[in-house]
Amino acid sequence: MKNKKNQPVIIYHRLVFILIFLLVLVFAAFYQTPHIVISRPQGSGHLFTYRTYEGMEFFIDYIHSVNQGFVREFFKISNGGLIFTAIEFEEFGAGMPTEYAVIFLPDGGMRMEGFNRSVTDFSYIVGHTTNHAINIGQTRVYFTDLAEPGTGLSFGLRQLNFWGRL
């Protein structure tokens, strides 16, 4: 024999559970956080996302296609945007900046700072021999793991909700 006295309590618990579940779904749909997003320029979905925070720094390194030297480009998250801050390289060559003072590094490389250029979206072409990689937090991702050589990749800072990261 069922105890009808406990039925309202069970129904109440189920209703509370359903309401909490719906609230979590709504929160996940609307709560957005900033992420570095890498995608194809045609916008066919995100290939890589990484949650960021104010003041976070990351870098992209590669082998320069002309002078074959190592290059590292530094970026920072500031005021909700991306800032290109500095560059390190092994030697001057085509496409390397020349308008900033050079700091010589102990390993023989060079560094230029003070760019502080705001960038919205920027692109790289996945190289055959350039070995591009983004280094953010404790994560290192090679561009060739995301796309075939010769493919363009777009980078940007986006506000994503839970569903946007999937």
pLDDT tens digits, 100-156:
677 778 888 888 888 899 998 889 999 988 999 999 999 999 999 999 999 999 999
The rounded mean pLDDT for the chain is: 83
Do the beta carbons of residue 90 and residue 116 sit within 8 Å? Answer: no
The torsion angle over the Cα atoms of residues 119, 124, 129 and 134, rounded to 10 degrees, is: 50
Indicate if 49 and 3 belong to the same structural domain: no
Residues 71/87, Cβ–Cβ less than 8 Å: yes
When divided into structural domains, the chain yields a total of: 2
Same domain, 68 and 134: yes
Strand partners, 82: 77, 119
Residues 22 and 47 in one domain: no
Q: What is the DSSP track for 150-164?
A: T-EEEEEEEEE-TGG
Does the pLDDT value for residue 161 go beyond 90? Answer: no
Residue 94: what pLDDT?
61
Beta bridge partners of 118: 83
Of the two residues 165 and 158, the one the predictor is more confident about is 158
pTM above 0.85, yes or no: no
Token digits of residue 117 = 């250029």
Domain identity same for 27 and 42: no
Same domain, 66 and 134: yes
Residue 115 has a pLDDT of 87
Beta bridge partners of 84: 75, 117
**Rounded to the nearest 10 degrees, how much is the dihedral formed by the CA atoms of 113, 114, 115, 119?**
110
113 and 79 in a single domain? The answer is: yes
Note down the domain range covering 98: 33-165
